[in-house]
Structure formats: C-alpha cells, structure tokens
C-alpha cells in the first residue's frame, strides 16, 4: 500500500494529494506492503479479502471499522477510510480522512471560499470533529458562507467546548508560532505575519518582521499570504502621511491580488473588482469590476460586503444595467448574511421610491 507522508510535518494520507494540507510541502510516497495471514500473498490496497485464497484480511491490531472493514489502530476515534465513529473512548484524535476534510475546510476558509468551507466544516462537525465545530460556529456567527444564526453558532460552539476546543485553545503562542515559521511551515509563516500585521492598522506602517513572514509564505504560493500582503500595501498607499510612490504600491497590491485569485482565493477576486472600479493600480473598468464581484460570490465569497456591493451595482447601474429587482434581492441577501447598516438603508430607499415616496436623504 502506498502512503503519502509529508517530509516537513509527517502528516500522512492515503489519498492522491500532491501537497500537504497542513504546511503545503510536497508529499513523498512511502511503499508499505501487507500480506495475507493465511497464504502469504500480497494484498491490494484497501482489500478486505485475499485475491488468491479468499481469506478475510485481519485487522493488524484486532480492530476494524464496523462500516467498511478498514484496519484501525488503537486511539483512533474515527475510521481513516470512511470517517465513521469507531467507538473509541473520547480523547482520541480524528482519523486522517476526517482531518483532511477539516483541513480542506480550513483552506477554503483562509481563501475566503466561505460556502465551500461551511460544507466541509459541517460534514466534519457532524461526525464530531471539534475544530470543525469551532469554525462552523464562527461561520454562523459572522455570516461567512451561511446566513447569520446566533443560536446555531452557539450550539456548535458548545459542542466544540465539550471537547476542549475554544478560542483560547486554538491560539498558539507567538514563540511557538515563530519556531514553526523558522522551520519553513507556510501556514505558520502566514499566521505569524498576520498576527504581527495587526499593528499596521494602528501604526499605519508595515513592519519588517511581518513583511518578511508574509513575503516568504506568499513566495511559496500561499494565497492567503498574498492576499494579506496586498491588503497591507493597499492600506499603506491610502495613508496621507505615506511618502513613497503610491501608484507603484497600488500596482504591487493589484498584482498580488491577481496572483492570489489565480491560486483560488475568492476574496482576492472581490478586491480586484474594487481595484478596477476605483482605478487603483490598474485602468478603471467598471464592467470588469462587476464581473469580478459576481465571480467572487460564485466562488463562495458570500459575506455582507460582497452581496451589498453587487446589489449597489444593480441599484446604481455600476458596470451593468440597472435592475431594481435584482438589487432588492441582493440587499436582502446581505441583510440575511449579517449586514445591519448599509443594506437596510439602501433597501429602504428603494422601497420608498417604489411606493412613490421620496427620501429626505436622497
């Protein structure tokens, strides 16, 4: 049987992924052959019966999944092949397949493909994955990929808490994070850069340290790092006290947004649309901006701002023909996903106009 092992973090999977979900390192195939205990013939991968003598394959540790018959090792709470609960006492960690599903959701979440992230988190959470339960609660509370539902968010947060997962337990100390980053872990480099980069919102500067980590992760093709670095460049170029070349900085930001979008970052598609609409780092093109806004939503980036922006385009005729019906639909979707300020106000104006009443704020 061929098992794929990450040389960086030792994560193992029996699937055909080329890169590790945890750190992005290319996986290495390790060959493991299992033989029939009755006749000694080599067994095919995942075979439950010997092709030579028909004997049933025995679980090496006298444990097998009750649903698919896959061999299990002590401590596994979930079957690595089908994700079914194995009846192992609580405290065991999920099997590789369920963990891979969670990591796929995390990858979609980091790349702002929220609809796909919710699907993956929900599937894993329904099978008891605690971290998937935690992120699913965040999605419901924030309206990321799913309408805001505080009760559902609280329910999943409680489930995750019962297994010892909460906001504090998900936090890694800065020292441990930097150690992982120095070892070449792409996710840790991104997380280190993101954590330190929070300072630029208050200091209006991009520190050398966060720029270093974000640049390293972005240079390895990690889309969330490209997106955050582009956002930093964009914010810095908008500062009044910035003395550098603002046009060049905006062009760098747009270039990084485009690279992140090519690597599957749905939020970068939306940001590219903002650049096209305002002419930041690229020639102004409102029609292309509207197309990118719609693509971002189609790719799963459904959050209040993106839904409201498309509604505004239909309302004001920005990059597309005016369509009040579609504008109302998008405004209502934005409200459903958690917009409590802009969408309600613009929807009220549209409804007043439809009833022949003028708004004092128009």
| pLDDT(199) > 70 | no
Highest mean pLDDT: which of 56-60, 214-218, 345-349? 345-349
Predicted local distance difference test score (pLDDT) of residue 29:
59
| pLDDT(36) > 70 | no
152-180 mean pLDDT = 87
DSSP assignment of 209-260 equals: HHHHHHHHHHHTT-HHHHHHHHHHHHHHHT-TT--S-HHHHHHHHHHHHHHH
User: Could you tell me which residue, 256 or 61, shows the higher pLDDT?
Assistant: 256
Checking phi first, is residue 183 left (phi over 0); if not, alpha (psi -120 to 50) or beta? alpha
Domains of the chain (ranges; CATH) run: 1-58 (no CATH), 96-170 (1.25.40.10), 211-354 (1.25.40.10)
**81-95, 103-117, 155-169, 284-298: which has the minimum mean pLDDT?**
81-95
Residue 168, C-beta contacts closer than 8 angstroms, at least 6 positions apart: none
Tens digits of per-residue pLDDT, 64-91?
Answer: 665 556 666 555 556 655 566 565 444 4
| pLDDT(182) > 70 | yes
Phi/psi at 49 (5° precision): -130, 150
Phi/psi at 71 (5° precision): -65, 140
| pLDDT(172) > 70 | yes
| pLDDT(2) > 70 | no
Predicted local distance difference test score (pLDDT) of residue 136:
96
Tens digits of per-residue pLDDT, 104-143?
Answer: 898 899 999 999 999 999 999 998 899 999 999 999 999 9
Predicted local distance difference test score (pLDDT) of residue 59:
45
Distance of CA 13 to the CA centre of its chain: 20
What Å distances lie between residue 310 and 52, 286, 287, CA to CA?
62, 12, 12
In whole angstroms, give the CA distance from residue 193 to residue 212.
8
């Amino acid at each position: 049987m061929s098992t794929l092992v990450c040389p960086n973090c030792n994560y193992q999977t029996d699937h055909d992924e080329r890169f590790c979900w945890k750190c992005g390192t290319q996986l290495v195939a390790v060959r493991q052959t299992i033989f029939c205990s009755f006749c000694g013939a080599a067994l095919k991968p995942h075979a439950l019966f010997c092709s030579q003598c028909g004997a049933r394959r025995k679980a090496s540790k006298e444990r097998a999944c009750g649903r698919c018959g896959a061999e299990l090792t002590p401590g596994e709470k979930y079957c690595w092949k089908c994700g079914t609960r194995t009846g192992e006492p609580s405290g065991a960690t999920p099997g590789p397949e369920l963990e891979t599903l969670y990591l796929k959701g995390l990858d979609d979440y980091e790349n702002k493909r929220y609809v796909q992230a919710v699907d993956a988190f929900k599937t894993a959470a329904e099978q008891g994955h605690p971290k998937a339960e935690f992120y699913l609660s965040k999605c419901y509370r924030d309206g990321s990929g799913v309408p805001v539902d505080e009760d559902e968010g609280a329910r999943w947060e409680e489930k995750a808490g019962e297994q010892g997962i909460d906001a504090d337990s998900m936090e890694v100390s800065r020292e441990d994070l930097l150690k992982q980053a120095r070892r070449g872990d792409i996710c840790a480099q991104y997380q280190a850069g993101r954590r330190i980069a929070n300072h630029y919102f208050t200091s209006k500067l991009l520190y050398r340290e966060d720029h270093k980590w974000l640049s390293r992760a972005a240079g390895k093709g990690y889309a969330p790092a490209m997106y955050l670095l582009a956002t930093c460049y964009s914010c810095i170029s908008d500062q009044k006290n910035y003395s550098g070349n603002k046009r060049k900085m905006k062009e760098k930001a747009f270039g990084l947004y485009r690279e992140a979008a090519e690597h599957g970052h749905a939020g970068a598609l939306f940001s590219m649309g903002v650049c096209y609409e305002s002419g930041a780092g690229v020639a102004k093109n409102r029609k292309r901006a509207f197309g990118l806004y719609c693509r971002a939503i189609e790719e799963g980036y459904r959050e209040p701002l993106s839904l409201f922006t498309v509604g505004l385009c239909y309302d004001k005729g920005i990059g597309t023909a005016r369509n009040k019906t579609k504008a109302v639909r998008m405004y209502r979707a934005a409200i459903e996903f958690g917009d409590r300020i802009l969408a309600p106000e613009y929807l009220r104006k549209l409804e007043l106009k439809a009833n022949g009443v003028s708004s004092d704020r128009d």
